Chain A
Amino acid sequence: MRVVVVGAGIVGAAVARELAGAGVTVTVLDRAASAGGTSAAGEGNLLVSDKGPGPELVLAQRSLTLWQSLRDELPDFPSVEYEAKGGLVVATTTAGAAGLRRFAESQRGAGVLAEEVDPHDLEPDLTRDYTAAFHYPQDAQVQPAIATEALLAAARRRGAEVRQGVEVLGPISLHGRLAGVRTSAGDLHADHVVVAAGPWSGEVSSRLGVMLPVRPRRGTILVTTRMPQRIRHKVYDADYVGAVGSDDAALQTSSVVESTASGTVLIGSSRERRGFDGRIEARVLSALAAKAMVLFPFLADVAVMRAYGGFRPYVPDHLPVIGPDPRLAGLWHATGHEGAGIVLSAATAELLADLLLGRETHVPSSPFAVERPTLASHLASSV
């Protein structure tokens, strides 16, 4: 069996590795270089703490299990900087505290470890003005670009071919099904085509003949200079939980603050819907800085050296799209992971391979199906 995977980000890389491991002949295409889009523009979150009970949490929990083995798969590779550092979610208002307690309680019912703590035992420099704090020991982190490259390298080791700088131009159709892709480097025949192009999946899908409502949602991150470590967990304010699932197009910021292996501190994260507009704006940076200082007042004197932004792939009902496209045989999707693609890549790849190879799936597949009811109106309205 031959499969073309479109997109050399973390989801495409994980899918390629999984399929190649099952003996499939895999070619990964990317119009640009590997790990050059969304996968290189985030913090590398492996989180369960920000997910309420439901299919996405199930996928994340399965992914965390898979990441345990993935992290050590390539001993001779640059470290993916896997760190099971745990998350600390902090509320700073009375209403926020109540909401956080309710949320944590619901998560515990779904198997998430969440414990209300005195946060200063974990983060001595945290603000004194907090109203509730929960520790999520299962939260972890990787360096997302290296993780992507590691998965691609693993895929290559299993026989996959990775072709960078090759753009998909259109479909190769045969008897009403997709039989490959026309590319900037010639035709490529395949039994199946998996679109894993993140926020550009909508564009790729339309070139292949179907509409998929994946849109970019902009995020911006600040990076400080290196400093002696004073932040030990992934610390975020409880507003983040609301912002992730929000439909609001306007700017939202909630603070996510953490140290990296190199000694810098990453400060996220903003969410804004405005297409592929990549400008860095002062008002966004100001809002990020102000929120981070609420959590860690000592940050006021810390120097920021870089700001960067990226685009999260966003689907109207906030769930990834994983599986075959019922409108075009031979076309598969693995996209729409929004800000959780790094963690979800692992179980996404497993699920897609299970479906494609006719194996029993490890998690229920229907919530992620293209034909799910919550996506139907979006598919119908805009063809």
Chain B
Amino acid sequence: MSDFDRLLQSDKKAERRLPWCEVAVLVVVTAFMVWRFNWYLTCVFC
């Protein structure tokens, strides 16, 4: 494998990390908001 290919593979790998990071952060923030903000949904919709 050439230096160029190694560089490209490493950058591709770095990009592939992004969707997983995004999903993880979304799950954490959604869980926090539902836990902390459920009173609001109750006020508005019930």
Q: Do these two chains interact?
A: no
Interface residues, chain A, CB within 8 Å of chain B? none
Interface residues, chain B, CB within 8 Å of chain A? none
